[in-house]
Structure 1
Amino acid sequence: MSKVIRKKGRSRLAFPEDYCVVDIETTGLSPEESEIIEIAAVRYRGGKKDAVFSTLIKPQHRITPFITGLTGISNEMVAGAPCIETAIRSFYEFAGGDMLMGYNVNFDINFLYDNLLRCCGIHLTNDFVDVLRFARKALPLLPDRCQTTVAAHYGIETKGAHRAEKDCEICNACYIRLRDELVRRSEEDK
Structure 2
Amino acid sequence: MIVITLSKVPMSLRGDLTKWCQEVQTGVYVGNFSARIRDLLWERITKSIGNGEATLIYSTNNELGYTFRTTRKDKQVINFDGLPFIKHLKNSPGSVKHGFSKAAKLHRAKKIQESKLSKVNSTSARQRLTGLVAIDLETTGLKPTNSEIISISAVKRINEQQVEKFNRYIKIESEVPVAIQKLTGLSNDFLNSEGESLEKVLEEFQVFIGNNVLVGYNLLFDQSFLNAAFIKANKQIISNRMIDLMPIIKKDQKFLDNYRLATVLKNYGIENDHPHKSISDAMATLDLALKLIKNDKLRI
Fold similarity call, TM over 0.5: yes
What is the rounded CA distance, in whole Å, between the counterparts of 1:35 and 1:41 in structure 2? Answer: 18
Q: Match of 1:107, SS?
A: helix
Aligned residue in 2 for 1:61: 174
Asked whether the 8 Å contact 2:215–2:289 carries over to 1, the reply is no
Aligned residue in 2 for 1:113: 227
What is the rounded CA distance, in whole Å, between the counterparts of 2:162 and 2:244 in structure 1? Answer: 19
Displacement of 1:120: 3.4
TM-score by length of 1: 0.82
Higher mean displacement: 174-183 or 88-97: 174-183
Q: Aligned pairs, how many?
A: 170
Higher mean displacement: 74-83 or 60-69: 74-83
Moved over 2 A (4+): 45-50, 176-183
2:268 to 135, 140, 154: 154
2:158 counterpart letter in structure 1: R
Displacement of 1:62: 1.3
**Shift in alpha-carbon separation, 1:61–1:143, aligned structure 2, 3 A:** same
2:276 counterpart letter in structure 1: H
Which string of whole-angstrom CA distances, capped at 9 and with x for unpartnered residues, describes residues 127-155 of structure 1?
A: 10111122111111111121110111122
Asked whether the 8 Å contact 2:274–2:280 carries over to 1, the reply is yes
Which string of whole-angstrom CA distances, capped at 9 and with x for unpartnered residues, describes residues 47-106 of structure 1?
A: 554321111111111111110111111222111210211111111121111111100111
What is the rounded CA distance, in whole Å, between the counterparts of 1:119 and 1:61 in structure 2? Answer: 17
What is the rounded CA distance, in whole Å, between the counterparts of 1:84 and 1:60 in structure 2? Answer: 11
Give structure 2 stretches of 5+ with no counterpart.
Answer: 1-125
Aligned residue in 1 for 2:3: none
Sequence identity percentage: 28
Determine whether 1:94 maps to 2:202. Answer: no
Higher mean displacement: 83-92 or 159-168: 83-92
What is the rounded CA distance, in whole Å, between the counterparts of 1:74 and 1:132 in structure 2? Answer: 29
Asked whether the 8 Å contact 1:89–1:116 carries over to 2, the reply is no
Correspondences of 1:19-168 after superposition (within 5 Å): 19-46=132-159, 48-80=161-193, 81-168=195-282
Displacement of 1:177: 2.3
TM-score by length of 2: 0.53
1:115 counterpart letter in structure 2: A
Asked whether the 8 Å contact 2:149–2:225 carries over to 1, the reply is yes
What is the rounded CA distance, in whole Å, between the counterparts of 1:102 and 1:113 in structure 2? Answer: 15
Which string of whole-angstrom CA distances, capped at 9 and with x for unpartnered residues, describes residues 154-179 of structure 1?
A: 22222211111100111112222233
Displacement of 1:121: 2.4
Displacement of 1:110: 1.4
Q: Match of 1:120, SS?
A: coil
Asked whether the 8 Å contact 2:136–2:153 carries over to 1, the reply is yes
1:169 to 283, 288, 291: 283
